[in-house]
């Protein structure tokens, strides 16, 4: 920028000078930094140079007038040809969609939709968005670290660096801090599609608050109180704080699960309530009874995939609650795998087609996919060399007693895993098999708290289309 300091400070500029008049002498370059004067001076010098060089005699060349006319015709022809080529590309809907698929980020996709109504309809089409997301999965913006020893301390956000310029801008403009809700916050329940779920306690009742860091203008939304249920005589509550969520339209729907069982542990009852996007009250969706005792575990956490809830149970079971089929079934873990101390977790599969099971043993990570009634081993990752490259204390060998490997959190679709090892938090990119350290536990803390990954929102929010016949958005 003219007159701008090289240091990047745009607050101080050189005084603006008026351009030279038409009668100014162009024999020497202007002492001003005025761009217009500089261009006029350079143009005059070029013209003077052309006058000095005499034209060469070439009998094969046409007269000047004809040459000029042919040149003008050639310019128009070239311009028309270029426009035709562009039209062939941009007017071909199939080719245009393939081009837009390459923009890479949802923020850039929204910018592409602002070109015209044609591009808008292509970019916001559901089938197109599905294809786009397959090639461009949601990006991990960062993670919240929760202090499980002291609930009065709000979870702190740590960005994943480095980030592409498009997403770095998103992080800078977001409002991740949970400090404004610290006085009433009792627990962090997780992150879902650009929203942070926190448990609130007013001294009498628990409610759930929804904080949207990418849309701070929305403020803190509070869900209606959980439905009350009178526990039957002879029963006890085995699980009453399982809250799951799923994308629906342009928001989230929530599913609340309560499990009660007989004192003799011979049978159980599952109650499922749903709060759909826009509702103000919970609605009973399903009551399921079973003649077997359900023993839900809180670790690993339950997941929702394809209208089925997968809950870890007992020592080697996964209980499946089919919301559409109104049934309960059980899946056994792969041979040789049992639930231990943060060594096993579940994650929903891509396109909600099944469930992943991730198991850590010493310095080995095994990932299975349950689909079609069977377990398929899809990854067997040895971390020995990766860990050795980080040179962490206590991780020189695979001795589990000195450096246990634990799973803190796994991302959807088996994309990444947050691991704990030697008072460090590690991030493993499963696709590229890259491991890096993202956090060191402070000396005052006894152990690492719970990690809650925060992903870029999907699908993106497109602007409202105007009701006119032009091309404006």
- pLDDT at residue 467 in the model: 64
Using a pLDDT cut of 70, give the percent of the chain over it. 76
Average pLDDT, the chain: 79
What is the separation of C-alpha 217 from the centre of its chain, rounded to a whole number of angstroms?
Answer: 20
Tens of pLDDT along 161-199? 999 999 999 999 999 999 888 777 778 889 988 999 998
On the question of pLDDT at 221 being above 80, the answer is yes
| CA atoms of 135 and 22, how far apart (whole Å) | 57
- pLDDT at residue 61 in the model: 44
DSSP conformational letter for 1: -
On the question of pLDDT at 54 being above 70, the answer is no
Quick one: pLDDT band at residue 270, thresholds 50, 70, 90? Answer: very high
pTM of the model: 0.76
Alpha helices in 203-246 (DSSP H): none
DSSP conformational letter for 154: P
- pLDDT at residue 240 in the model: 76
- Adjacent-strand bridge partners of 425: 420, 439
The mean per-residue pLDDT over the stretch 103-126 comes to 90
| CA atoms of 252 and 277, how far apart (whole Å) | 6
Range of weakest confidence among 66-75, 144-153, 248-257, 379-388: 66-75
DSSP conformational letter for 374: E
Range of weakest confidence among 221-235, 398-412, 428-442: 398-412
On the question of pLDDT at 4 being above 60, the answer is no
- pLDDT at residue 395 in the model: 57
On the question of pLDDT at 471 being above 80, the answer is no
Q: Which two tokens stand for residue 283?
A: 């609605």
On the question of pLDDT at 29 being above 60, the answer is no
Q: Which two tokens stand for residue 308?
A: 């089925």
- pLDDT at residue 289 in the model: 92
From the list 380, 335, 374, 334, the residue with the least C-alpha distance to 357 is: 334
From the list 389, 392, 399, 403, the residue with the least C-alpha distance to 434 is: 389
The mean per-residue pLDDT over the stretch 420-448 comes to 90
- pLDDT at residue 396 in the model: 53
């Amino acid at each position: 920028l003219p007159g701008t300091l090289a240091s990047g400070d745009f607050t101080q500029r050189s005084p603006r000078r008026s351009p030279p008049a038409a009668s100014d002498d162009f024999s020497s370059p202007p002492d001003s930094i005025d761009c217009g004067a500089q261009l006029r001076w350079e143009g005059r010098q070029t013209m003077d140079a052309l006058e000095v060089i005499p034209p060469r005699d070439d009998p094969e060349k046409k007269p000047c007038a004809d040459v000029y006319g042919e040149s003008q015709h050639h310019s128009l022809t070239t311009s028309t040809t270029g426009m035709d080529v562009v039209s062939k590309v941009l007017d071909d809907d199939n080719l245009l969609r393939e081009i837009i698929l390459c923009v890479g980020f949802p923020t850039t996709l929204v910018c592409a939709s602002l070109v015209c109504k044609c591009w808008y309809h292509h970019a916001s089409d559901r089938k197109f968005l599905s294809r786009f997301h397959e090639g461009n999965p949601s990006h991990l913006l960062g993670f919240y670290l929760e202090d499980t020893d002291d609930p009065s301390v709000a979870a702190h956000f740590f960005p994943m660096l480095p980030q592409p310029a498009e997403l770095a801008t998103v992080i800078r403009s977001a409002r991740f801090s949970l400090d404004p809700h610290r006085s009433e916050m009792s627990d962090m329940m997780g992150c879902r599609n650009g929203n942070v779920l926190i448990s609130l306690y007013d001294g009498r009742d628990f409610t759930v608050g929804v904080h949207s860091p990418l849309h701070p203008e929305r403020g803190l939304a509070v869900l209606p109180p959980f439905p009350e249920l009178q526990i039957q005589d002879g029963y006890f509550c085995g699980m009453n704080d399982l809250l799951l969520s799923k994308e629906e339209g342009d928001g989230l729907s929530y599913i609340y699960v309560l499990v009660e069982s007989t004192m003799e542990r011979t049978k159980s009852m599952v109650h499922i309530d749903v709060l759909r996007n826009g509702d103000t009250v919970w609605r009973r969706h399903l009551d399921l009874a079973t003649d077997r005792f359900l023993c839900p575990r809180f670790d690993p956490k339950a997941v929702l995939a394809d209208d089925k809830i997968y809950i870890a149970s007992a020592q080697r079971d996964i209980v499946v609650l089919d919301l559409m089929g109104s049934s309960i079934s059980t899946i056994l873990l792969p041979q040789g795998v049992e639930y231990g101390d943060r060594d096993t977790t579940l994650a929903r599969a891509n396109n909600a087609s099944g469930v992943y099971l991730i198991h850590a043993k010493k310095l080995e990570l095994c990932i299975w996919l349950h689909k079609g009634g069977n377990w398929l081993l899809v990854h067997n990752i040895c971390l020995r060399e990766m860990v050795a490259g980080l040179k962490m204390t206590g991780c020189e060998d695979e001795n589990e007693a000195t450096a246990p490997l634990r799973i803190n959190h796994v991302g959807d679709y088996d994309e990444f895993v947050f691991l704990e090892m030697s008072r460090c938090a590690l991030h493993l990119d499963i696709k590229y098999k890259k491991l890096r350290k993202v956090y060191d536990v402070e000396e005052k803390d006894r152990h690492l708290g719970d990690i809650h990954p925060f992903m870029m929102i999907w699908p993106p929010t497109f602007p409202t289309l105007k009701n006119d016949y032009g091309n404006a958005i």
